[in-house]
Structure 1
Amino acid sequence: MPIALPSSSSGSCPVVPPLLRSTVQACRFSEWYPSFKRNSIRGVVYKFGKEEELTLRAWFEEDGMRLPTEVVEDDESQLSDSSDEDEEESSSSSSSSSSSCPPSHSFPSFTTLITSTLLLYPIFPKINNLAPQDAQWILPLSQPLKCTTIQDVYLALKASALTAVALDDHRDLSGVDEDDGTVVEGVVEDLSEEQEEGERVEVVLKKWYDLERSREFRLFVRGEVLLGISQRDPNHYPHLLVPETQSKIRSTLVNFFESTLKGKFAGGPNYVLDVYMSSSLTGAHLISIAPYHPSLTSPLLFGSYSALHQLYLSTLSDFTPPALSTLSLLDELSSATSSPTRGDEEDDASLETIGTDAPLTLPVLLVIESRSHPAATRNSPAWPAYPQDVVSVGSGKDVEEFKRIWEGEVREAAKEEQDETKTKTTTSQEGSP
């Protein structure tokens, strides 16, 4: 169960502070990156113009996986240069299909930026602060969202269900937090129409790195106070239980926050940071800045924003919280989701390394303390690996056979769509006076 909140303070100090539209906008990569470029992973931004945005939305909403016109034309040009008979046959079939049912969307400027960026580094794409993590299945490499071609970038964005979420940037965020039942307010609109007009869709082409997941952490900040630090990857890493390692992580991230971010973020005093630590754990890089809001940012190991609220209350000068120690806090956090196996020797030892009965000291650092921890999902994908139609087509096939069958399925789908379009056109013409 979540940590109990004192009723006397719930009215004057909400669990989740009001979220302004200006804060949401300030969390965009294009807004904060210029200020924190020296401490961040490299990336470039493409902002779509008004007409381009309409075309982009239409392309995303369109059924199928057609690539933009300029990408398809480039593919056909490369295929036509092949001298192999099989490749010529494939090229002819592909060209015939493309010419009979050509893509109607084009983004030449964006494609040019992708091309020039790929000359410098492989790309990790994000659209409006969301990465298309659920589209990993469509990329040819095993590394998470490593895009090495123009096609990779477009396919990842097109195949992701999260793209639709990213484009719905004015969706209603109010409701009840599923984690603890807390009533959460929506975004407070504080921007003028002119300022809203400048809030265009943007795609970030970040430099892809093979990150060591155990060095990724999330920092929760409220009122410019660093309340808690949570391990991001839901796997158990024994080395994170070593007291000396935890002390170094905590010290480094506190220093990083105070020297780099504190009082310098334009979006206000409440925000969440995702950071990546150096191999020596003596430095950190800023990955992203997100709103302090359960509808937009997960509390990860803290379980709910109510737990973070309890930590925040302990910082207020006019509030005296109940006696709370690091160990008791961890017990509270674990009790809501712990499995029946919790309490074995490994778990007990792990808890002892994380906290003691000493007074609570902020920020609280939480890590996965054992493989039986409910948040630990080793060898389990964070997102559905493949859509059902891909699974049904690929079942029992090797890579080459799957590729041949899948391309046939795509060509057949395109042909059916073409025939349907012709039928509709003929019917329309017959019905005309």
Structure 2
Amino acid sequence: MATHVFEEISVSAEEILQCSYSSWSRQVPQENLIPSKVLAIPREFLEYLESESITIPRKVEQATPNSDNEFSDWEEEEEERVDPTKNFPQFHQEIIKGIKELGGVIIPKLNWSAPKDATFMMINNEMKCSDVNDVYILLKLSNHINHDLDAAFEEVKEVPDIKYEMVLKQWININPALEFRIFIRQGRIIGVSQRDLNYYDYLEGLKPTFQELIDQFIESIDVNMEKMIIDVYIPKPYNRVIIIDINPFSRKYDPLLYTWNELLQETPNYEIRLINENNLGRFSHKENSENQVPLEVINASMNTESMIELAQKWSSN
């Protein structure tokens, strides 16, 4: 019996850098982007993200004069806690300003990754942030963000100089049924997969519309990469494609309804693969299920201070 040898997929440092948000977003029409703001990250903020301590800026509670304050002991403890933003006060204000400019609710990410694996710490289990402290909590507790900082170039021999950035994306309510992953190789589409692996009966009838839109979209953008993976969103009334992210063409990313062996075969045409009723049980799952947590974490997520206390206990253990 012949042994199958996996075809190597080489990824260069340049290709990884091209997938950094500010690199590819400048080459894409605004109509294909979610409104966003890119902030250059200072060294002090990187040190904060990489530190083991989990602290966020203190919010001052306003007490009524001459009244008993049940939070007085808590405030004394808070005064002893070091405010992490003292090392990056200007950047802290830039984040606050960016949130306001983008409508008051945003999703944060770094060059390549968003902290979607840390949403268990948020009340609504979503990445949406209306407060700067929400941004800090998500970034500090995300393995995806740690990957950007420590392992973004693990597939290459020489690590280039990296200009880290924080991207604040305006929050939009995305229907996960309408997200797709597009695989590009040698400058052409080789496959498209539904991203949310659950069954939606109305998608099959929209396949021709999706294919026409995706074809037009790929022809219209001027991203200087021969191979890549593009995650997109096609909202109603199905007349435009919005880019969620662009990633390197690499085995480290999930091929979803394809296999990497299929994606590396030469085929004249591509197909849009959707979940159907027959494979519903096989693929239905919770995204980031590896990050599901005990009930006490859910309870703690209802209170910011409880979240920080619990996270500090994890860190000490």
Tell me the TM-score range normalised by the shorter chain: 0.7 to 0.9
Partner of 2:123: 140
Q: Does 1:109 align with 2:84?
A: no
Partner of 2:76: 96
Question: Residue 66 of structure 1 is aligned with which of 44, 52, 55?
Answer: 55
Instruction: Select the structure with the greater relative contact order (CA < 8 A; seq sep ≥ 6).
Output: 2
Q: Does 1:205 align with 2:168?
A: yes
Question: Residue 168 of structure 1 is aligned with which of 128, 146, 150?
Answer: 150
Q: Distance in 2 between matches of 1:157 and 1:148?
A: 14
Q: Distance in 1 between matches of 2:21 and 2:307?
A: 40
Shift of 1:108: 1.8
**Could you tell me whether the CA contact under 8 Å between 2:37 and 2:168 is conserved in 1?**
yes
Unaligned runs of 5+ residues in structure 1 are 174-186, 316-361, 418-433
- Hey, which bits of structure 1, 4+ residues long, moved more than 6 A? none
TM norm structure 1: 0.64
**Could you tell me whether the CA contact under 8 Å between 2:13 and 2:153 is conserved in 1?**
no
Q: Distance in 2 between matches of 1:403 and 1:104?
A: 20
3-state SS, counterpart of residue 272 of structure 1: strand
Q: Which amino acid aligns with 2:309?
A: V
**Could you tell me whether the CA contact under 8 Å between 2:41 and 2:165 is conserved in 1?**
yes
TM norm structure 2: 0.85
Shift of the 100–29 alpha-carbon distance from structure 1 to 2, 3 Å rule, reads same
Question: Residue 219 of structure 2 is aligned with which of 250, 258, 261?
Answer: 258
Partner of 2:306: 407
What aligned pairs does 1:149-168 form with structure 2 within 5 A after superposition?
A: 149-168=131-150
**Could you tell me whether the CA contact under 8 Å between 1:214 and 1:231 is conserved in 2?**
yes
Shift of 1:283: 1.8
Partner of 1:307: 262
Q: Distance in 2 between matches of 1:249 and 1:293?
A: 24
Question: Residue 372 of structure 1 is aligned with which of 280, 292, 302?
Answer: 280
Shift of 1:101: 3.5
Q: Distance in 2 between matches of 1:19 and 1:210?
A: 33
3-state SS, counterpart of residue 314 of structure 1: coil
Q: Distance in 2 between matches of 1:153 and 1:82?
A: 30
**Could you tell me whether the CA contact under 8 Å between 2:37 and 2:167 is conserved in 1?**
yes
Shift of 1:168: 1.1
3-state SS, counterpart of residue 205 of structure 1: strand
Shift of the 307–291 alpha-carbon distance from structure 1 to 2, 3 Å rule, reads same
Question: Residue 23 of structure 2 is aligned with which of 28, 31, 39?
Answer: 31
Shift of 1:230: 0.4
**Could you tell me whether the CA contact under 8 Å between 1:136 and 1:385 is conserved in 2?**
no
Structure whose CA Rg is larger: 1
Shift of the 89–204 alpha-carbon distance from structure 1 to 2, 3 Å rule, reads same
Shift of 1:136: 1.1
Q: Distance in 2 between matches of 1:273 and 1:231?
A: 12
**Could you tell me whether the CA contact under 8 Å between 1:18 and 1:188 is conserved in 2?**
no
3-state SS, counterpart of residue 210 of structure 2: helix
- Structure with the higher fraction of residues in helix conformation: 1
Q: Distance in 1 between matches of 2:150 and 2:308?
A: 31
Q: Distance in 2 between matches of 1:367 and 1:85?
A: 62
Q: Which amino acid aligns with 1:45?
A: V
Partner of 2:37: 44
Unaligned runs of 5+ residues in structure 2 are none
Q: Distance in 1 between matches of 2:28 and 2:248?
A: 17
Q: Distance in 2 between matches of 1:159 and 1:270?
A: 31
Q: Over aligned residues, Cα RMSD in angstroms?
A: 3.2
Shift of 1:314: 3.1
Shift of the 19–188 alpha-carbon distance from structure 1 to 2, 3 Å rule, reads farther
Q: Distance in 2 between matches of 1:294 and 1:85?
A: 62
Q: Distance in 1 between matches of 2:9 and 2:207?
A: 29
Shift of 1:109: 2.6
Shift of 1:408: 10
